[in-house]
Every structure is written in structure tokens, then in C-alpha cells.
């Protein structure tokens, strides 16, 4: 008898919970994993029938596979994040840099549309990756996978103040005509003719066979790029030892 009462109680609670989920008044319940809690995967607000409030910061179904690490779209997004080396500048999940916005907190305050716009129309010194719509869809799914679950670590964002003193000024004169770089000293450079050097101490994608840049390696590169890569297109830049050290200190911390 006690077991029967417990079962009835559980079923009653489930019914009441489902009835309180106002998403189901408009949407057919097709979710297998979380049939009574749409907001776990889609955000939004299930306690109201007002569409503008219910859909606030909604994650659409095409991005909702982020809860499944093994889904093809999530896996593709993870690979894009790794290949594009997003963590050179951004904190994502539990790791990354603090040169640009902390994506763990950004995805909680921005809509999906705002994130898409930031990728298609990058701010100054963010590389223009030229992702197609399919790649962006997978990329956002991957970002949600890393940043929305509990355990992602939000960190304080660095605030940049433009200052052309010291190494900054040397970078602008000697490197900034070809390169851009977002550094702890600010946004430097004006051109996209050569690779974006933001977060250079992280692995730079597919350039030196996955070798991590450090001060010694960058010193060799600035002395003679072809000593490290035979087909390097970068010319030898005339720098005094003091100027070279200033550039290295700006790019590698």
C-alpha cells in the first residue's frame, strides 16, 4: 500500500510539473532526455505564456545538441574551437586567455543572434575567420557545450588602454603595418595582411607544427624567419636588440 501511494504521489508531481511547464502549451513534447524541463537545453522561461519573455535568450533546437558531447555537431564545434585557437584570447570552459571577452559569462548575457553577429562582424583585432553558416552553427554549439554547463570558470576580463609608449610604439612601427595583435597592452597594429598575433604564447594554428611560441622561439623567428620555416614569407625585420626585446615582451608574457 505504501509503495502504491508513493508511485501515485510521484506521478502526480510529474503531472503537475509538466502542467506548469508552459512551453508545452505551444510546443509538442518531443524531447526524450528532458521531457518536462525545456529550459535545461533551451534556456528561456517556462513559467510564462508570454512569448517575448518565454523566448528570452532562447537557444534554438539546431544548437541544443551541445548537451551531447558525442553529437556530430558538438564534435565539429569542438574541433573548430581548437583549430581556430579561440583560447588564445578567450576564456572558454575552464581554460583560456583573458585578452578578450570571457565567453563563459558572455553566452549567459548574449542571445545566439548577438554571438553570431560578433563572429560575422568581428571587433577590432579579432581575426575574421570567414566561417560559413554551417561552421558557425557548429562553432556556437561547441561554445555552448564548454560554457553553459556547471563547472565553467568565469574570470575577470582584461581592460585595455591604448598606450603607444615603449614596446607598443615599436610594434606599431615595425610590425603593425602587416599584423594586428590584441595584447595586455591594448589593441595594436592596423593590417590583416599577415597573421593576427593575439595570444601568441598559445599554440598558433598549423604554423610551426603545433609548437608553442615562447620568447626564445620568437627571438629566433625575428632574427631570421626562414631558420624555423623554410618557406616563410615574412622578411627579416631590422630590429636592434632593445627593439626586439620590446616586441617579444609585448607578444609573450
The answer to whether the 67-147 and 167-251 domains have the same CATH topology is yes
Neighbour count for residue 140 (Cβ, 10 Å): 23
Q: Write the CB contacts of 58 (distance below 8 Å, at least 6 apart in sequence).
A: 42, 43, 44, 111, 112
pLDDT of residue 185: 75
Q: Is 27 left (phi over 0), alpha (psi -120 to 50) or beta?
A: beta
pLDDT of residue 9: 44
Question: DSSP character for 227?
Answer: G
Dist. CA 130–CA 166, nearest whole Å = 34
Domain chopping of the chain, boundaries: 67-147, 167-251
Q: Write the CB contacts of 155 (distance below 8 Å, at least 6 apart in sequence).
A: 91, 98, 102, 104
pLDDT of residue 167: 54
Mean of all residue pLDDT scores within the chain: 82
How confident is the model over 150-187, as pLDDT tens digits? Answer: 767 887 666 555 554 445 788 888 899 899 888 877 88
Q: Quote the Cα angle for 186-209-140, to 5°.
A: 60
How confident is the model over 133-145, as pLDDT tens digits? Answer: 999 999 999 999 9
| CATH class for the region spanning 67-147 | mainly alpha
Q: Which residues of the chain have pLDDT under 50?
A: 5-19, 164-166
- Tell which CATH classification among 3.30.70.100, 1.10.940.10, 1.20.140.160, 1.10.760.10 matches the domain 167-251: 1.10.760.10
pLDDT of residue 37: 74
Amino acid at each position: 500500500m505504501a509503495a502504491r501511494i508513493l508511485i501515485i504521489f510521484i506521478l502526480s508531481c510529474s503531472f503537475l510539473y509538466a502542467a506548469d511547464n508552459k512551453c508545452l502549451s505551444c510546443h509538442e513534447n518531443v524531447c526524450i532526455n528532458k521531457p518536462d524541463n525545456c529550459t535545461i537545453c533551451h534556456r528561456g522561461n517556462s513559467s510564462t505564456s508570454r512569448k517575448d519573455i518565454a523566448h528570452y535568450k532562447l537557444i534554438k533546437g539546431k544548437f541544443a545538441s551541445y548537451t551531447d558531447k558525442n553529437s556530430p555537431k558538438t564534435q565539429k564545434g569542438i574541433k573548430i574551437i581548437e583549430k581556430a585557437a579561440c583560447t588564445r584570447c578567450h576564456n572558454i570552459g575552464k581554460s583560456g586567455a583573458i585578452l578578450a571577452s570571457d565567453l563563459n559569462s558572455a553566452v549567459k548575457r548574449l542571445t545566439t543572434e548577438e554571438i553570431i553577429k560578433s563572429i560575422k562582424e568581428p571587433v577590432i583585432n579579432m581575426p575574421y575567420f570567414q566561417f560559413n553558416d554551417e561552421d558557425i552553427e557548429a562553432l556556437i554549439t561547441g561554445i555552448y557545450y564548454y560554457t553553459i554547463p556547471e563547472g565553467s570558470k568565469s574570470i575577470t576580463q582584461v581592460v585595455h588602454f591604448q598606450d603607444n609608449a615603449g614596446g607598443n610604439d615599436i610594434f606599431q612601427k615595425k610590425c603593425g603595418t602587416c599584423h594586428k595583435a590584441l595584447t595586455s597592452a591594448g589593441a595594436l597594429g592596423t593590417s590583416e595582411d599577415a597573421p593576427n598575433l593575439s595570444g601568441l604564447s598559445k599554440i598558433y594554428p598549423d604554423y610551426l607544427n603545433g609548437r608553442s611560441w615562447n620568447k626564445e622561439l620568437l627571438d629566433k623567428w625575428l632574427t631570421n624567419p626562414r631558420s624555423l620555416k623554410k618557406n616563410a614569407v615574412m622578411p627579416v625585420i631590422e630590429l636592434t636588440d632593445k627593439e626586439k626585446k620590446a616586441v617579444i615582451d609585448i607578444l609573450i608574457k
